[in-house]
Structure formats: structure tokens, C-alpha cells
Amino acid sequence: MDFAMALDGRGRTATTTEHEHIRDMIHQVLFTAPGERVMRPDFGCGLKALVFMPNSDALAATTRVLVMGALQRWLENEIQVDEVEVRSDDATLEVAVGYLIRSTGERLIEVFAEEVQGPGP
């Protein structure tokens, strides 16, 4: 099934390729906050919360470790993470992930971007 849930041209549940499915799973891990899923409260990596921290080399290193750890924990059977780069520009968070698809041996670099909300009042 495709993520986010959608209907195809025939009115049936949309499906996706293995590569797109893995990309969707990476997106879910990156942009899901721990505690957001009731049945898996530790799922995700809390990446969005780091956007509002003061920018520094230490924060960049911490973010890379956090992302790599979460991807390795939740997707270790599907991918091997090689590199992670995180950029924040205004309200957009951009994460580049280099990884190996274990089932095919294919190496990819994908960029994931998401709009983030500012800190609450």
C-alpha cells in the first residue's frame, strides 16, 4: 500500500513499488514524534523538535546520530544507513539519507522535506 493512503485511478487502494515503499517508511520514521503513535509510543525520532534548537556543530552531530539510530532501529531489516545530512531553512526541514536497500543491494540517496510548525505559544 502507498503512504499516505490514497486511491488509484480504478478507485482501489493505491499500491507502490518496493523502492517507494522503503522511501515512505523512512519518511514515517523521520517525521513521526515519539509518543505520536498509541500502539508504538517509542516509534519515530523526534526530528521536528530539534529544528528550534540553536544551530551549532554539536546539534548537527546530535541530529545525525539521532536520525541514523532511529532508522537503524526501525528499518534495519530493509536498509543499511550510510550517511545523513540535515538542513533547516525557515519552516522547512530537509534530510538527505544515503542508504543501501538490503534486498537488492541498490545504494540510494533520498532527500526528505517537510514543513514544520513553529513552537507553540
pTM score: 0.78
pLDDT tens for each residue of 51-110: 666 666 777 778 888 899 999 999 999 999 999 988 776 667 788 999 999 999 999 999
Q: Give the position of cell 540517496.
A: 109
Q: Which amino acid is at 99?
A: Y
pLDDT tens for each residue of 4-35: 666 777 777 777 788 888 998 998 899 888 88
Q: Domain ranges in the chain? A: 18-115
Burial 68-91 (b: 16+ CB within 10 A, else e): bebbeebbeebbebeebebebeee
Q: Are 81 and 66 in contact (CB under 8 A)?
A: no
What top-level class would CATH report for the domain 18-115?
alpha beta
